[in-house]
Amino acid sequence: MKTADLCDEYADWLKLCKTAFYSYGKKKEFNGEIRTVEVYEDNSMVKECLETIEPGTILVVDGGASINCALLGDQLAAIAAKRKISGIIINGCVRDSADLAHIDLGIKAIGTCPFKSNKRGEGTKGSTLSFGNVEWIPGQFVYADDDGIIISEKPLDSKPG
């Protein structure tokens, strides 16, 4: 589902993420139901979420836009791909970007950083996040491709509302 086509059809029901993200995974188009985790320079809860959320979902990670360390690398991406998670959107950095490009997963992040994160087990799962001039609400739906990231309250196979 191309975001441009979805915007043509459903513009009145969509929110546009205004943060500039780069694509790192093999999948360039992906969509699914939102699951959230908020962390800061600690990817322990990112791993925990990837090991437990449902296949087909999108994990949205608010890392506070930190560029000091990566919240996702090839090992966590491999877990997500094996579990058939549709994608990961990170308001933060990734590493192992050359390897991520070969993993069958949608991955969006604001940049790369070779440093690994801390492992303190800190963060919050399942809360509404706010970045990119939108709210990321668990249970809503996200659609992403190289043109952008859009959010809908309901899946776009039926008109929202």
Give tens-digit pLDDT for 73-131: 999 999 999 999 999 999 999 999 999 999 999 999 999 999 999 999 999 999 999 99
Is residue 6 pLDDT above 80, yes or no?
Answer: yes
Residue 159: the pLDDT is 53
Pairing of strands 87-94, 14-16: unpaired
- pLDDT grade, residue 157 (50/70/90)? confident
- pLDDT grade, residue 143 (50/70/90)? very high
Nearest to 65, CA basis, from 27, 97, 85, 38 = 38
Helix, strand or coil, per DSSP, at residue 104: coil
**Beta strand ranges found along 48-117 (DSSP E):** 58-62, 70-72, 87-94, 106-112
* Euclidean distance between CA atoms 50 and 81, whole angstroms: 9
Q: What is the DSSP letter of 97?
A: H
For residue 67 the two structure tokens come to: 């560029």
- pLDDT grade, residue 158 (50/70/90)? low
Residue 74: the pLDDT is 98
Mean pLDDT taken over the chain: 96
What is the percent of the chain with per-residue pLDDT over 70, rounded to a whole number?
Answer: 98
* Euclidean distance between CA atoms 157 and 83, whole angstroms: 24
- CA atoms 121, 57, 74, 29: torsion sign: negative
Nearest to 78, CA basis, from 63, 62, 66, 94 = 94
Pairing of strands 58-62, 87-94: parallel
Q: Give the residue-averaged pLDDT of 34-60.
A: 97
Residue 1: the pLDDT is 81
Q: Which residues pair with 37 in a beta bridge?
A: 61, 125
Q: Which residues pair with 14 in a beta bridge?
A: 152
